Amino acid sequence: MTSIVDTLYAMARSDQILIDEPMSKHTTFRVGGPADVMFLPESPEQTVRAIEAAKTAGVPVMVIGNGSNLLVRDGGIRGLVILLGEGMAAVARAENVITAWAGASLKRVAAYAQASGLSGLEFASGIPGTLGGGCAMNAGAYGGQLSDVLIDAQVYLDGELRTLTRDEMQMGYRTTLPLRRGGVVLSARFALQPDDPEAIAARMWELNARRRDKQPLNYPSAGSTFKRPEGHFAGALIEAAGLKGRAVNGARVSEKHAGFIVKPGEATAADIIALIRIVQDEVRAHSGVTLEPEVRIIGEDQ
């Protein structure tokens, strides 16, 4: 690890490099052990240099956003974690096209579009993730998804920096080519439509009001815990299995929306994972449907 740390210090400021950084500070579940080294890049070029330096040094590397779809195990993450955050959050407009770097929150990109009088990203205004992760998993909500408006994305894939069109991204339900192949989305462009900013804001307010009414936003979570199984809704299957309120220590299936596992009390990642397994087993026994986690479970056990 010494070699990668020395390389990072040579290419960046010391405050961009964190040692033994608790991942609980960087995930919305607020659990997770430490990352050996965390790097906070301030440009796509710095991001690529850090990835390549880690590969050269033989150090495992993982790139994350704001951790809204991550569950980090209690033993933490070995190697280098590159966090795309405020230093990678630039957003710009050219006519009806919005360009954003990977660390910009989807909420920020949607708000920028609204203030610019551009419609098409209203659905993204309440998604608690960043642009890079959102593009990599084709994030969506309330009938919209990023593939609806994406022009192209700058992606570090298979050791190369490439620009992939929407078709080349192979965007499906919560999946893309970069996600399947371990690529990193660094920036993206979106084609939007001119509209009245107040009308756009009204639509965003309505969607976010629906989200507040239906989702347990007052507790730490990683959003929808499970992917939507074909022909079903995960929350409905979990509720039908009588699992609302089921808990493992401080981890609980939300009483407000059964598709969410929340952390209203003290809980470890192991508690949350145990509850995920219970839900999967009991839903399978009740309905025959196997639920696949939407949240990414990473890191090592303690």
Residue numbers annotated as active site: 174, 224, 294
Structure tokens at 157: 């894939």
Give, rounded to a whole angstrom, the gap between the first and last alpha carbons of the chain: 20
Nearest to 129 by CA among 120, 118, 137, 121: 137
Distance, CA of 34 to CA of 72 (rounded, Å): 9
DSSP letter assigned to residue 213: H
Specify which residues 297 forms β-bridges with.
Answer: 71
Among candidate residues 220, 215, 150, the one with its CA nearest the CA of residue 178: 150
Q: Which of 39, 34, 31 is nearest to 6 (CA)?
A: 39
